[in-house]
Amino acid sequence: QVQLVESGGGLVQPGGSLRLSCAASGIIFSTYYMRWYRRAPGKERELVAAITSSGTTDYARSVKGRFTISRDNAKNTVYLQMNSLNPDDTAVYYCNAEWISRYWGQGTQVTVSS
């Protein structure tokens, strides 16, 4: 059974930082292309960051320079370090794994507010 479990969300003030984690099980993690998406209230789902099996990264323009995606294949975990957060970053953040099949986590809420 495949599971992706996100953690690390919460309430943070503008300018603050959070690190999201997504722990995978039931897949050969190192072969999977991993992505973070987010969905803000009333908005479409947005691709935030992606990392290939070899570690190549890509980011949405809105987060480039502030967010960093990384992976630890030994721990079957992908991370999203989020710095300089602003209220527009408020959303539910979802982890996604894709290779032959595609899997989703349940999401973790990130709220940026003073």
Segment 16-68, tens digit of pLDDT: 999 999 999 999 999 999 999 999 999 999 999 999 999 999 999 999 999 99
Closest CA to 41 of 104, 109, 103: 109
Report residue 71's pLDDT band, with 50, 70 and 90 as the boundaries. very high
- Given this model, what pLDDT does residue 100 score? 86
Partnered with residue 91 across adjacent β-strands are 110
> Tokens 């899997």 correspond to what residue?
103
Measured distance between the N- and C-terminal CA atoms of the chain, rounded to whole angstroms:
40
- Given this model, what pLDDT does residue 37 score? 98
Q: How far is CA 53 from CA 32, 43, 62, 70, in A?
A: 6, 29, 23, 11
- Given this model, what pLDDT does residue 73 score? 96
Q: What are phi and psi of 87, to 5 degrees?
A: -55, -25
